[in-house]
Structure 1
Amino acid sequence: MPSPRPVGRRTAQPAARKRSPTAAPPSGQGAQRLPGAGADQPPGAAAAARDTALETLTEQECRSLLSTHGVGRVSVATDRGPVIVPVNYLVFGEALAYRTTPAGVLALAEGEQIAFETDHIDDVWRQGWSVNVTGRARAVSRAEARALDDRAYALPLAGGNRRHWVVVVPDRVTGRRVHAG
C-alpha cells in the first residue's frame, strides 16, 4: 500500500525547459524556424507565404465549413453605424442561428439584412479560409427556440441571459481559401 503524501506539501517538479523559436530541431537538421514558434502571438501576426493561392469556394464547400465551427461575427446596421458582434452560432437546416438578449443590438436586427462571417486562420502554415453569409434575420417560434436550445452545444460567448434566438436565412453564401500555391 503506498504511503500517504503529507497534506499541504508539494513535491518539486523539474522546471519546464523553454525552447527558442530558432533552436535546432530534435532531428539535428540545424537552426530553423520551428512550426508553432510564436503560437502565443496574436492571430494574423505572421507574414504571408511567398507562393500562396486564393481560391473561391463553392456554396457547398462554404456550407460544409460553416458546420465545422461555432463562433462567428454578425454585422448589423444601426443608427450609429455598422456594429460587428462575435456570437456562438449553429447551423439550423439551411439557416444559421445565434442567441442574444431580447433588447440587444442583434435582436433589433430581426427583419433586417445582416452579414455573418466565420473563418479559420493557421498562422503556422500560412493558410486559412473565410465564409461570408448575407441574409435576413428573423425571430423564431417557441417550438424552434426549444429545438435550438436542445441542439446548442455551447453557452453564449458573452454569457448572461441570452435566451433569445435569431435565425439568419441566407440569400448569399460565399467564401475564399488561401493556401500554398
Structure 2
Amino acid sequence: MDSEPRWLKELTTADSLRLLGSVAFGRMVFNQHALPAIRLLNHVVDDDAVIVRTHLGAAALGTVGMVVAYEADAIDAHTRLGWSVVVTGVARLVTDPDRVARYEQMLRPWVREQMVHVIRIDPEIVTGYEMLDGADF
C-alpha cells in the first residue's frame, strides 16, 4: 500500500448523486430515542432523491418527517482511492400508489421482510468527495 497522502476533491451535486446511484446500498443516519442511530439499507436514486423501502417494525420507518442523512461510498482498501457522498434531507413516506408500485419494481428487498413502506429523501444538502492520488489531481 502506498504511504502517500491522498487529495480530496469536492464533487458537484450532480456527480455526487450520480455516484450514489451507482451503488446498491448505503447507511441512513437518524435519531432514535434522542441518540444517533445508523441502519444499512439498499436504495435507488430517482429524480435526484434517495428511495428506500422498509417494513412496519423497522427503525427507519420512524424517520418519517425527520431530518436524516444518507451516506454511501466506494473506497478501495488497497489504493485508498474512491469516493463518499452524504445526502441530508427530510424523510417522507411515499403514499401515491403508482409511485409505490414503481419503486417496488425498482428496489427489491435484501432481507426476508415484507417491505410495504417506501421512504423518499429529497436532498437539502449534498456533499461528496473523491480521494485522488497526486497523479489524478
* TM-score, scaled to structure 2: 0.89
Percent identity between the aligned chains?
Answer: 29
Q: Answer yes or no: is 1:91 the counterpart of 2:45.
A: yes
Alignment partners' CA distance in 2, 1:81 and 1:137:
17
Cα deviation, residue 158, structure 1: 3.3
Q: How does 1:29-178 map to 2 (within 5 A)?
A: 49-141=3-95, 142-152=97-107, 155-178=108-131
Higher relative contact order (CA 8 A, sep 6+): 2
**Separation (CA, whole Å) in 1 of partners of 2:6 and 2:36:** 32
1:34 — aligned with what?
none
Residue 163 of structure 1: how far off its partner (Å): 2.4
Structure 2 gap ranges (5+)? none
Which blocks of at least 5 consecutive residues in structure 1 are unaligned? 1-46
Kindly state the Cα deviation for residue 113 of structure 1 after the two structures are TM-superposed. 0.3
**Runs of 4+ more than 6 Å apart:** none
C-alpha RMSD of the superposition: 1.5
What is the count of residue pairs matched by the alignment?
Answer: 133
Distance in 2 separating the partners of 1:179 and 1:159: 38
TM-score normalised over the length of structure 1: 0.69
More strand by share: 2
Normalized per residue, the structure richer in helix is 2
**Separation in 1, partners of 2:14, 2:129:** 12
